[in-house]
């Protein structure tokens, strides 16, 4: 009937009006929240202290993030370099509430890197936590100072000098393996990955029987793949959220890579610990003897700054390679050092050595 149609029309108009009102209310709420966020962002101490540093064009809420949306890593670097050339050697960028200062002047960088007070790492380092634990690379404060003090003697020049024969032998080995590639183009990265791991295990880690080549290469490849995953989490907004990352295939691949990496580390630590407990002081004497022989040897009739070594420069207990020294410290109840500390530092050192090898190859050959 006409009355029924009139009622239905009234209800429809009311619903439409109510829906439109709800939409406007939501939009106003979003605008208010965005305005409050922007006020908080610009009122922060960090923002006020750095507002005079040159910056690319900003927009409310996002800061400079809109400039890199949809850009590849190479494009982000290219844009950053372009703005540095345009605005000067120091640049400020804000990605939402995250403030980043870019420095290119070596004097400015030296001040930051030589500071003993500002040791806290940025938020991006948290993605390394499952890998490094509280290792030197991501730790801070008193923990960092304590570990650095305990580990530094293991890289004394007399110990490093004793490793030279090992470097030479592994260099010969990799050259022999690459001989089959003569006359054709090949990827040197695969060979260097395997050799780097083998050298590290047989020197700093004191492993006498280095794992087979495939195992060394598998570890090195897992390190590269894991670094790629962590980098993506650092630069992709959605992947920074654990709740989203945990639902992706990337998480599954990351778990697989971590199993390979931590599995290798655990085997190395357990094997060397067993050998150290069995051999005792024989290891100290072996390394001490190697250091003296290496110090007395001239390579090609030339000398370098590592040739002049004082035999008494390093105490007997400290004349140990990295892993042996940490095993010894863990046995001493007077030293704050445990099994977790050993694993964390071994994972850290093995990563850093492989990372430097990768960077060197990229700069030298690419």
Using one digit for the tens of pLDDT, what is the confidence trace for 261-311? 999 899 888 888 888 777 655 444 554 454 445 444 544 444 444 444 444
CA distance 231 to 225: 10
Distance from CA of residue 297 to its chain's centroid?
37
26-54 pLDDT, tens digit each = 888 888 898 898 888 888 888 899 989 99
Residue 246's pLDDT band, with cuts at 50, 70 and 90, is very high
Cα distance between residue 297 and residue 304, in whole Å? 11
pTM of the model: 0.72
96 and 168 in a single domain? The answer is no
- Residue 3: which pLDDT band, with cuts at 50, 70 and 90? low
Residue 149 shares a structural domain with residue 55: no
205 and 107 assigned to the same domain = no
Cα–Cα dist 155/180, whole Å: 35
The arithmetic mean of pLDDT across residues 246-275, rounded, is: 91
Can you give the pLDDT at residue 252?
A: 95
Distance separating the N- and C-terminal Cα atoms of the chain: 82
**Residue 233 and residue 282 share a domain:** yes
**Would 66 be classed as within a structural domain?**
yes
Residue 167 included in any domain: yes
**CATH number of the domain bearing residue 166:** 1.10.630.10
- 125 within a domain of the structure (yes/no): no
Q: Is residue 122 part of a domain?
A: no
Same domain for 216 and 139, yes or no, is yes
Do 34 and 68 lie in one domain? The reply is no
Distance CA 102, CA 195 (A): 35
**Structurally, how many domains does the chain consist of?**
3
Is residue 121 one of the residues assigned to a domain?
A: no
Same domain as 307, residue 188 = yes
When pLDDT is averaged across residues 98-115 and rounded to a whole number, the result is: 88
pLDDT for 82 = 92
Other beta carbons within 10 angstroms of residue 189's beta carbon come to: 17
Q: How confident is the model at residue 154 (pLDDT cuts 50, 70, 90)?
A: confident
pLDDT of 241 higher than 90? no
> Residues 219, 108: one domain?
no
Mean pLDDT score across all residues of the chain: 79
Say what the pLDDT of residue 343 is.
93
Calculate Rg over the CA atoms of the chain. Answer: 28
Q: How far apart are CA 366 and CA 352, in angstroms?
A: 20
Residue 120 belongs to a domain:
no
Same domain, 149 and 289: yes
pLDDT range class, residue 245, cuts 50, 70, 90: very high
- Structural domain contains residue 353: yes
Secondary-structure breakdown of the chain: helix, strand, coil percentages, each rounded to the nearest 5 = 70, 5, 25
Contact present, 208 and 220 (Cβ < 8 Å): no
What range defines the domain where residue 61 resides?
Answer: 47-114
């Amino acid at each position: 009937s006409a009355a029924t149609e009139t009622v239905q029309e009234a209800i429809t108009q009311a619903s439409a009006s109510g829906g439109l009102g709800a939409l406007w209310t939501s939009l106003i709420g979003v605008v208010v929240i965005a305005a409050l966020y922007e006020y908080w962002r610009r009122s922060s101490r960090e923002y006020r202290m750095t507002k005079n540093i040159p910056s690319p064009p900003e927009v409310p809420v996002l800061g400079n993030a809109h400039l890199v949306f949809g850009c590849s890593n190479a494009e982000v670097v290219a844009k950053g370099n372009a703005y540095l050339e345009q605005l000067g050697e120091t640049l400020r960028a804000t990605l939402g509430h995250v403030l980043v200062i870019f420095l290119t002047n070596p004097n400015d960088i030296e001040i930051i890197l030589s500071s003993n007070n500002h040791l806290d790492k940025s938020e991006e380092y948290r993605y390394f936590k499952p890998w490094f634990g509280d290792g030197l690379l991501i730790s801070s404060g008193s923990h960092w100072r304590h570990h650095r003090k305990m580990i530094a003697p293991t890289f004394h020049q007399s110990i490093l000098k004793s490793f030279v024969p090992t470097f030479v032998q592994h260099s010969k080995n990799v050259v022999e393996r690459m001989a089959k590639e003569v006359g054709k183009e090949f990827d040197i990265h695969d060979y260097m990955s395997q050799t780097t791991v083998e050298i590290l295990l047989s020197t700093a880690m004191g492993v006498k029987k280095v794992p087979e080549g495939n195992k060394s290469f598998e570890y090195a490849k897992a390190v590269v793949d894991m670094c790629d995953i962590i980098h993506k989490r650092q630069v992709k907004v959605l992947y920074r959220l654990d709740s989203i990352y945990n639902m992706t295939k990337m998480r599954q691949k990351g778990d697989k890579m971590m199993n390979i990496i931590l599995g290798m580390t655990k085997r190395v630590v357990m094997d060397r610990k067993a050998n150290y407990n069995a051999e005792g002081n024989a290891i100290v004497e072996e390394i001490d003897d190697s250091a003296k022989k290496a110090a007395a040897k001239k390579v090609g009739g030339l000398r370098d700054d590592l040739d002049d070594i004082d035999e008494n420069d390093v105490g007997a207990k400290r004349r140990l390679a990295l892993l042996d020294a940490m095993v010894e410290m863990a046995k001493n109840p007077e030293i704050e050092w445990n099994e977790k500390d050993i694993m964390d530092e071994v994972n850290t050192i093995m990563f850093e050595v492989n990372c430097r090898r990768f960077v060197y190859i990229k700069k030298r050959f690419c």
